[in-house]
Chain A
């Protein structure tokens, strides 16, 4: 680790101001950033911790019925607070990493980092969430722009995420056995106007929607509706833990299991 300054703002405005410094970096739960610093792979001049900002904490239900999660809310809190309002989201949050990770890692940190194997991007894209920042509102469909790439500008902070609540949903994850990130994770959500299917862990471009499955499931929300569909291995990740063909295969298997388990 290299030496750095630490800022602990208590308001979003102060955080945004602190992040205007060149080489300042926002710190959410630190589940990616801290190991990166320990390995001397990053050299920020200052870390701006977001965890002390009260207005970015907690879960509530919005006027439109959406589940609204403060950007600095940790996974364990999301798992607990959404258990009855949005079980699919609660299940996803409750199976990220281990208890230590879930009590530190935050929804905003996960979405801002957009690790191609992280769980939260699947929930956000799969439920058509809105990413709210200090500056604007971004639809999930516009937010994810590839592996570790998002629509966020420099210094922009995710203050809240609004998840429309589906009739049924489930996140099915096949874990990479070492990191326990998703080797393939599929979030399926059934809304009155159709089904959304978001896949994480599989693609070299990060989280994506499997539109053929969405169409099939919108007509018939059952695993058998996927019969005959397949996912191309082109553009899928290949690494120590699985080939692109294997990941493409798992997308379909996990989608089917998510549909069967959806409640």
Chain B
């Protein structure tokens, strides 16, 4: 049993007190003294040459302090891609400059080409309308295949729309081709992984402040990783030394990946603050979010599964076009490659895997990591084609998966896609899921649905993913331009309470609750006496932030390491206080005790001694009690899951209703089961949204048709079932001190194919010859599929 509030306890989230009472402090809630407002002028065409921009009328409008265009940033650096991907022929990827403001050309609807700084937002908006831009519209490059075939380019200087042509693993290509050629059965599926708009509840916002006396800058911004943002601005875009730039990400209302990245608006408010000598604030409206936040997914894939007649897998081979949009966002080249191709062996012992992926520039918003980031795309392709193969072979969808699962005694397992899975038990997850679903009673439920005139389907899925990113040495080999460790400083204050400064950033994850659970558990003290400090580069050690389900596995491990250092030092101090050897001390429940005696001192007494070092061995031990640890993981963590979904389909309208959803996950050791359940719920909801609802659509002119909530369908409570989750009894991660695997993305990775498999099962049960429908499975699409079949 977990200790009160320690590791494994479902402690309620302390941060919710402020979030649920309206006391959260978000960037838009901050009003700096003397602040002025920035408004961006964004392209209404997808592709165009900027002939001229006349700002004179705007500059003379009331309250206007400055107007910026791309020309003002021509000499500063571009916003870089964080991963260098090489094409199959060894050529490095194409990296056209991504400027602060569009310069020369606008490349997507929403591409900002000017900004107005005025005393008030209203004045800035009025002046923005007076900017006269002569933009010669060019035909939009929207469709990826057409982009590759055509002779007009999003970036003229690279003379192609192909960013790279990547093979994984290129050395396995011939063997995989050969295996597929000779296979007794090959199932082929062409599918689309639909583009998603992240839609964090809080839109992006930034406030830039410049202090002329110190020649220093402050950026308050909606970021998942303030240190990374500072590094990008300092080292690449603006050249401000890190010691002259503080980045603070206060409360952040959701990110889902979209707030990992540095955006031009952040650089603009800093430059503007210096120019006008006042703090400059920008808050995106929802329309700007739709048009300018980095989107997610957007793959077009052909996947082949070769297998024996008995369902034994021989090979997976995929060809994918991945949309990167108009510019390379910071993680955009890693997401479709090393977060996608490396997972293409799934949970299976399949011996041959080959992935070919071409990244394509188009006149659309940049596409980057969105909850799951590459792994949902891999899982969707694999698990859809497996379902189709099972149907073709007349096999049960669970049986075919079990037949190919990596077995518990095979771990650590080197997958055919190049990763070493450290632990897992996929059969146990499937056992648990089957029991929770009560599959035997499914036929009864199907009959009950049919009696109402509805079709009922059961969808099955298994997933494994790689998260807790990431081992720096490995990702360095794979093209990463940064390290992916994290860091924590544990500061024991004089009276025994603690401040823990972490590199991870909480924007909904519950760090303020869970990290104290770990520290409190290790020190045998009340977690309520531990507070987390995060989000401020002037206070926290250099950590890489929160994404890729890394906070606990990487930063949590740094917290453990720093706390271990605290215990080691405290033990020395205690030994002095007890006039004993440190080796003779036990540390349990917050007490240092001399073995075999009743002599002891509490952790609090030791802390006080460290800060009031009277009668203290200063020649041997420094005063104070504060330790920092950087933690770089030895491997990814590999959470896995077995999911099931039951749907009803209305055969008259095509409407799909999710009736039941079951998620059995292996997240290794779980620190706070309640928070983990919440993560699964949220991920599953986003996955159901992708599968059934979210329909990002650009027309042939590059206009985003689904650019508001009147057309973009976010999942709502009445779209969703009760979600049954279980994540007990996981197989611990073998290489981090907590034994924990990341839990933030599994739900979004595992759920889309589960839902689609269920819909296909329902349609097949109703005698409809439908084998695949592309997401989102809207009523209209399902109806069309039923009636064209």
Q: Which residues of A are in contact with B by a Cβ distance under 8 Å?
A: 3, 39-40, 174, 177-179, 240-243, 246, 249-250, 253
Contact = CB atoms under 8 A, between A and B. Distances in A.
22 contacts: A3-B122, A174-B653, A177-B693, A177-B778, A178-B710, A178-B712, A178-B713, A179-B711, A240-B706, A240-B711, A241-B711, A241-B778, A242-B779, A242-B780, A246-B654, A246-B779, A246-B780, A246-B783, A246-B784, A250-B653, A253-B652, A253-B653
A178 B783 contact: no
B652 A177 contact: no
Contacts of A253: 652-653
Contacts of A179: 709-711
Interface of B: 122, 125, 129, 287, 652-655, 693, 695, 697, 705-706, 709-714, 719, 778-780, 783-784
A118 to B, nearest CB: 13
A179 B713 CA distance: 8
B692 to A, nearest CB: 9
Contacts of A40: 125, 129
Contact of B705 (A3, A240, A243, A250): A240
Contacts of B719: 177
Contacts, number: 44
A89 B779 CA distance: 26
Nearest to A250: B653
A203 B625 CA distance: 73
A241 to B, nearest CB: 6
A148 to B, nearest CB: 15
A128 B653 CA distance: 28
Given A177-B693, A240-B695, A246-B784, 12 more contacts: A174-B779, A177-B779, A178-B713, A178-B714, A240-B705, A241-B780, A242-B779, A243-B780, A243-B784, A246-B783, A249-B783, A253-B653
Contacts of A177: 693, 713, 719, 778-779
A234 B713 CA distance: 27
A210 B779 CA distance: 23
Interface centre among A3, A178, A242, A253 (most CB of B within 10 A): A178
Nearest to B650: A253
Which 4 pairs of residues, A with B, have the shortest CB-CB distance? A242-B780, A178-B713, A179-B710, A177-B713
Nearest to A98: B716
Contacts of B711: 178-179, 240-241
Contacts of A249: 783
A178 B784 CA distance: 20
A174 B705 CA distance: 21
A39 B779 contact: no
Contacts of A3: 122
Contacts of B706: 178, 240
A241 B783 CA distance: 12
Contacts of B712: 178
Contacts of A178: 706, 709-714
Contacts of B654: 246
Contacts of B705: 240
Contacts of A243: 780, 784
Contacts of A240: 695, 697, 705-706, 711
A241 B714 CA distance: 14
B182 to A, nearest CB: 43
Contact of A39 (B129, B287, B652, B784): B287
Interface centre among B655, B697, B710, B714 (most CB of A within 10 A): B710
Nearest to B714: A178
Contacts of B779: 174, 177, 242, 246
Interface centre among A177, A178, A253 (most CB of B within 10 A): A177
Contacts of A241: 711, 778, 780
Interface centre among B129, B654, B697, B713 (most CB of A within 10 A): B713
A157 to B, nearest CB: 27
B288 to A, nearest CB: 12
Nearest to B693: A177
A59 to B, nearest CB: 28
Contacts of B784: 243, 246
Contacts of B710: 178-179
A196 to B, nearest CB: 23
Contacts of A242: 778-780
A37 to B, nearest CB: 13
Contacts of B655: 174
A105 B653 CA distance: 29
Contacts of B713: 177-178
Nearest to A241: B780
A174 B778 CA distance: 13
A223 B654 CA distance: 19
Interface centre among B693, B719, B780 (most CB of A within 10 A): B780
A6 B648 CA distance: 50
B195 to A, nearest CB: 13
Nearest to A39: B287
A114 B358 CA distance: 48
A45 to B, nearest CB: 16
A178 B287 CA distance: 15
A3 B473 CA distance: 58
A40 B124 CA distance: 14
A177 B711 CA distance: 8
A240 B703 CA distance: 13
A179 B653 CA distance: 18
A39 B713 CA distance: 20
Nearest to A40: B125
B273 to A, nearest CB: 26
Nearest to A38: B285
A246 B706 CA distance: 19
